[in-house]
Structure 1
């Protein structure tokens, strides 16, 4: 203990006699303290995607695409669905994509004009290729030589089965009149639309 005390006193005397050395030691001490304080305030990096999700929050997407475009093909490589959106938010968990103001073109096996679908928002579940459209859903299609418009509040597009369906009220308008019903199902390839229940229509008489 005596030797340790004597060495400490000698070190202090050496520093007192050499101001440059004393300033260098002080600078090293301050730098070490600043480094420790900086490292102490720095949050640890997330160790996994789940940790990152906890920091980010469940409501925040894992990524997003501006002016995105998505194309779905059938087993023969023919294009079935093309939709676009000014903003698509992607969530890795569940394979979910949320779209703002989606617009879709649905093509059948024939060379007829595609169905044009627009809505306020949409959810794409990529695992089973289901597209859910919600809010002011509007479908425009050609029936022979006349154009028809279907409006409803929700619509599900099953890209694998080539169908579109809803349980909500629907209104179909063309140049001959208006048809209303509760629920419908459409087969895109066959160009068939089936109304479920409470079907009523008003048509203009053609002279």
Structure 2
């Protein structure tokens, strides 16, 4: 075999190897009969001026959720809320009202996220009145206000938590902190870090 013929055969073999590599590398995709399931990401229901109420085992109103609109997405079971107002009614008569510009009911419907201008106000019935806390005839006295930009609330447990900056104000002053957990029933607030307060004696 001459040297020239040897070079030609080598070139042909090299060409075959390169062609086979590109075919194996993905240029040729084998046909498949299986198809990926199509997941719809549009809403399956939409409510305007919605009001949801939850009662305890004794039949007393435990909490209620109002929202200008409620939009549910089945692909992730999230429910978006516009201008939500969540009101918790504790056994001791304390009423905690949480409002924001936006919110989301998480999958399972147990926890709610609120964000954008979140305001939480804890109030108690007037000491001179002992009527039903749900009655409009029973005035409530504001005791504590909490402002933040994001919070997660568990209405059933009456617990709210955030890792964002928070401002807490009451009759005697104000407190700022990074992160907070509020226990509605116990009337207790646990601050996480960088706590600063201003106290104004009466």
TM-score range, shorter chain: 0.5 to 0.7
- Aligned counterpart for 2:44 among listed residues 62, 74, 77: 62
Determine the structure 2 residue equivalent to 1:205: 201
Determine the structure 1 residue equivalent to 2:67: 85
**Cα pair 1:97 1:125 within 8 Å, conserved:** yes
**Cα pair 1:131 1:157 within 8 Å, conserved:** yes
1:152 and 2:148 are equivalent in the alignment: yes
Q: CA RMSD in A?
A: 2.2
**Which sections of structure 2, spanning at least 5 residues, go unmatched?**
1-36, 128-140
**Cα pair 2:88 2:155 within 8 Å, conserved:** no
TM-superposed CA distance for 1:78, in Å, is 3.8
The structure number with the bigger radius of gyration is: 1
Task: Tell me, in whole angstroms, the C-alpha distance in 2 between the residues paired with 1:166 and 1:109.
Answer: 24
TM-superposed CA distance for 1:74, in Å, is 4.1
The number of aligned residues is 151
1:177 and 2:159 are equivalent in the alignment: no
Determine the structure 1 residue equivalent to 2:135: none
Structure 1 counterpart SS, 2:93: coil
TM-superposed CA distance for 1:122, in Å, is 0.5
Give the TM-score taking structure 1 as reference length: 0.65
Task: Tell me, in whole angstroms, the C-alpha distance in 2 between the residues paired with 1:89 and 1:146.
Answer: 32
